[in-house]
Structure 1
C-alpha cells in the first residue's frame, strides 16, 4: 500500500527452563481453578442448551443449604434496606 513495506513481527518460541512437558497441557494456559468441577464451562451449543445445563447444575447442586442461606441473607438485607429508607409496605395490601 505504501512505498515503505511494513515490518513483520518476529516469532518468539519460548520454552521454560524447568518445564518437563507433563500431560496437563501448556504451562501458559489460563484456566479457572473450578472449571473442572462445572458442567456449564466449555459447552458448545445454543443459548437454550446453555440455559438448560445451567438449570440442571443449579438443581443438582451438592450444597442446597448454601443456596437457601444466600436467599435468606439477601431477603433480610432487602428488608433492612427498605426499613432504613422508611418504605411503606401498606401499598401492597388492599384497603377494605
Structure 2
C-alpha cells in the first residue's frame, strides 16, 4: 500500500503581502537544478537510469569519466576473482 511510492509535497497558493520580487519567495529549488539533468521527480528505474547515462555522456570533466571507468574495471575484476573465473580461456593454447 504505497510503500515504494514517494510522498509528493503539498502546494499552497499563499502570496506574501509585502513581497515585491519575481517569483515566489517560498519556492523550494534544489541546489543542483541548474547543473544537472538527473534531479527530477521519481520516474521509475528506467527513467532514472537513462537520465544518469545522459548526464554521464554530457559531462565535460574527463577526469571523472576516467575515474568511473577505473572503478568499474576494478569491481569487475574483483567479482571475477571472487567467483573463480579462469581467464585462460581468452589466451591461445600453447
TM-score by length of 1: 0.47
TM-score by length of 2: 0.48
Structure number with greater Rg is 1
